[in-house]
């Protein structure tokens, strides 16, 4: 139930259509303090139009507003402040949640169109580090939010399974590798070889030439190069799938860079047909707008580049999925690459490029510095998750040793702590890696929200709650909980339109705080007359917390 829309409907009538509906929607604010009402309309923009002071305009508007939804309307300092009718609104919100349950907040704004989401995309033969966490959890959450918004998401894991680094790795394996050791611990052993290659190449730069030679062999289909590459890829995928399973993440496509090898010649042909290719220092480029450097399509030695591959991938995805939007959840450092990519597609005459969006994010820093695979300075995501689960289990053993599904709950809480720690931050911000902060079980953390859900579940069990229509007698103390519940559909809209899962995480913290405050001030189970009505509120909170956690890719334990 969107009472903001109702307020706008009233304003449209009162203002005789002087301002458009969309304009009015954007102008409505939430007052800073509760005693100033539930919504406010600022009249400053109308002062020029009516040639009156904002205060006198506010008074005139306030006098004309009459609706059972508003308990009180007042003009204060150029604002029209409205107080919602608590009983009426509470009834509507709770009845909506009771009837829709987990469907509450579902929007139809995506019109059931396809949105492709390119996320996670680790490099094979390299460990899945904490650096990959951000793209993985932001992308997964955006796919879930897109679905709630009314789109059909296609989750794509564009694996980094091609490029000069594989030439380097083949050289390193041939020089120092050991088959048994690689089979025993593939990712760690391959990382060791990769790091060793770069250490040796600093002393002996000719090694880099050898790496390039072997990558050229790989591109030309050399049998030995291909079989080593396929082996590295297979071992890596098995390791990655264990991690995705731990995080509860699935993909619709694992087409990596190599998949587009036979699709790049067509891109070059189209560019040639449209007279977009130019020669520059022996290489082939597409000239772009003045503020962008030329986009390199083919090197002087004839090898293709990331841009060629990404153009092939974009065209393939449009032809395969007919997407309305195509999202790339890739770090800030690739911003220029995507500007060039979208610009080339525009020059090629593909109008669908308008639906393509790069969703950048900040880095996870360690001691204020970027983590580097090349130098071996990585924190492995699998190890962090294992440690988080172990700490959650220790916490359970200490505080609730009688809990039946200890291991399952520890897994839900441990992985949830890691996911929430990332998603509560706005994605563009860098995050300092700190196990201590990530795994705190109080404060603004995942376990705090999960514990609030478990508390609600426990109250419903103790109160023997019956899920049926009730006369909803709402305590005054419940109003902050109602207003939080009411805002959920709007939060989903903002989260998708800003590609910002932190909107959901922040909402869950606010709802949890409001509910825990209510729990502390009202004895929910003591008054038999009011008990079922109060439990209806508890049930509604539980439904929305569970759904909000799901949209972040987290579980909601019934007991903790």
- Structural domain contains residue 411: no
Could you count the other beta carbons within 10 Å of the beta carbon of residue 511? Answer: 24
Distance of alpha carbon 553 from alpha carbon 209, whole angstroms: 44
Calculate the CA 171 to chain-centre distance. Answer: 38
Measure the N-to-C terminal CA separation of the chain; round to a whole number of Å: 32
- Structural domain contains residue 71: yes
DSSP state of 277: E
- Structural domain contains residue 77: yes
- Structural domain contains residue 547: no
Helices 133-149 and 406-423, packing angle to 10 deg: 90
pLDDT at 41: 96
Q: Are 323 and 355 in contact (CB under 8 A)?
A: yes
CATH number where 59 lies: 3.30.1360.70
- Helix or strand (DSSP H, E) at 414: helix 406-423
pLDDT at 32: 86
- Structural domain contains residue 443: no
Give Rg (Cα) of the chain.
Answer: 28
pLDDT at 73: 95
Q: Tell me the residue range of the domain where 74 lies.
A: 3-84
Distance of alpha carbon 426 from alpha carbon 199, whole angstroms: 36
Cα separations (Å) of 474 from 132, 195, 532?
A: 46, 63, 11
Distance of alpha carbon 538 from alpha carbon 464, whole angstroms: 12
Q: Are 21 and 12 in contact (CB under 8 A)?
A: yes
- Structural domain contains residue 66: yes
Say whether pTM exceeds 0.75.
yes
Q: How many domains does the chain have?
A: 1
Could you count the other beta carbons within 10 Å of the beta carbon of residue 419? Answer: 30
- Structural domain contains residue 31: yes
- Structural domain contains residue 491: no
pLDDT tens, N- to C-terminus, the chain (560 residues): 678 888 999 999 899 878 888 899 999 998 988 889 999 999 998 988 889 999 999 999 999 998 888 999 999 989 999 999 998 899 899 999 999 999 999 999 999 999 999 999 998 888 888 888 999 999 999 999 999 999 999 999 999 998 888 999 999 999 999 999 988 888 889 989 999 999 999 999 899 999 999 998 998 899 999 999 999 998 888 889 999 999 999 999 999 999 998 999 999 999 999 999 999 888 999 999 888 999 999 887 766 688 999 999 999 999 999 999 999 999 999 999 999 999 999 999 999 999 999 999 998 887 777 766 555 566 788 888 999 999 999 989 999 999 999 999 999 999 999 999 999 999 999 888 777 777 676 789 999 999 999 999 999 999 999 876 555 667 889 999 999 999 999 999 999 999 999 999 999 999 999 999 999 999 999 988 788 889 999 999 999 999 999 999 999 999 99
pLDDT at 373: 54
pLDDT at 270: 97
pLDDT at 155: 98
Q: Which of 328, 502, 332, 357 is nearest to 430 (CA)?
A: 332
């Amino acid at each position: 139930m969107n009472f903001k829309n109702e307020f706008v409907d009233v304003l449209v009538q009162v203002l005789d259509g002087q301002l458009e509906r969309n304009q009015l929607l954007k102008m409505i604010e939430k007052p800073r303090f509760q005693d100033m009402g539930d919504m406010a309309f600022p009249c400053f923009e109308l002062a020029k139009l009516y040639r009156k002071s904002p205060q006198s305009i506010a008074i005139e508007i306030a006098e004309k507003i009459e609706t059972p939804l508003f308990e009180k309307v007042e003009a204060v300092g150029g604002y029209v402040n409205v107080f919602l009718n608590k009983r009426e609104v509470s009834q509507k919100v709770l009845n909506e949640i009771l009837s829709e349950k987990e469907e509450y907040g579902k929007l139809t704004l995506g019109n059931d169109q396809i949105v492709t989401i390119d996320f996670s995309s680790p490099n094979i033969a390299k460990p899945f580090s904490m650096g990959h966490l951000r793209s993985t959890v932001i992308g997964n959450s955006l796919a879930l939010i897109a679905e709630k918004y009314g789109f059909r998401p296609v989750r794509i894991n564009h694996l980094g399974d091609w490029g000069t680094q594989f030439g380097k790795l083949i050289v390193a394996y041939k020089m120092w590798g050991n088959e048994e050791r690689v089979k025993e611990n593939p990712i760690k052993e391959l990382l060791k070889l990769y790091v060793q290659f770069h250490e040796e190449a600093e002393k002996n730069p000719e090694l880099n030439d050898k790496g390039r030679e072997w990558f050229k062999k790989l591109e030309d289909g050399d049998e030995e190069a291909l079989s080593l590459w396929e082996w590295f890829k297979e071992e890596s995928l098995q390791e990655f799938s264990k991690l995705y399973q731990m995080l509860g993440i699935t993909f619709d496509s694992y087409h990596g860079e190599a998949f587009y090898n036979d699709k790049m010649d067509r891109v070059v042909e189209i560019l040639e047909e449209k007279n977009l290719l130019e020669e520059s220092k022996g290489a082939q480029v597409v000239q772009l707008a003045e503020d962008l450097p030329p986009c390199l399509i083919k090197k002087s030695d004839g090898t293709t580049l990331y841009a060629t591959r990404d153009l092939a991938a974009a065209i393939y995805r449009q032809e395969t999925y007919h997407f309305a939007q195509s999202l790339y959840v890739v770090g800030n450092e690739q911003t220029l690459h995507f500007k060039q990519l979208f610009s080339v597609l525009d020059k090629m005459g593909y109008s669908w490029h308008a639906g393509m969006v790069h969703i950048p994010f900040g880095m996870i820093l360690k001691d204020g510095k970027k983590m580097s695979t090349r130098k071996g300075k990585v924190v492995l995501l699998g190890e962090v998750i294992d440690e988080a689960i172990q700490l959650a289990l220790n916490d359970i053993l200490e505080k609730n040793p009688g809990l039946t599904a200890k291991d399952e709950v520890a897994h839900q809480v441990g992985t949830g702590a890691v996911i929430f720690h990332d998603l509560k931050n706005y994605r563009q911000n860098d995050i300092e890696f700190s196990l201590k902060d990530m795994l705190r079980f109080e404060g603004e953390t995942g376990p705090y929200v999960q514990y609030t859900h478990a508390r609600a579940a426990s109250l419903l069990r103790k109160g023997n709650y019956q899920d049926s229509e009730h006369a909803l007698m709402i305590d005054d103390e419940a109003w902050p909980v109602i207003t939080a519940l009411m805002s959920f559909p709007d939060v989903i809209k903002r989260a998708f339109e800003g590609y910002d899962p932190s909107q959901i995480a922040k909402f869950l913290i606010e709802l949890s705080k409001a509910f825990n405050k209510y729990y502390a001030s009202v004895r929910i189970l003591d008054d038999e007359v009011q008990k079922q009505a109060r439990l209806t509120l508890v049930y509604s909170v539980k439904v929305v917390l569970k759904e909000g956690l799901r949209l972040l890719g987290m579980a909601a334990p019934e007991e903790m």
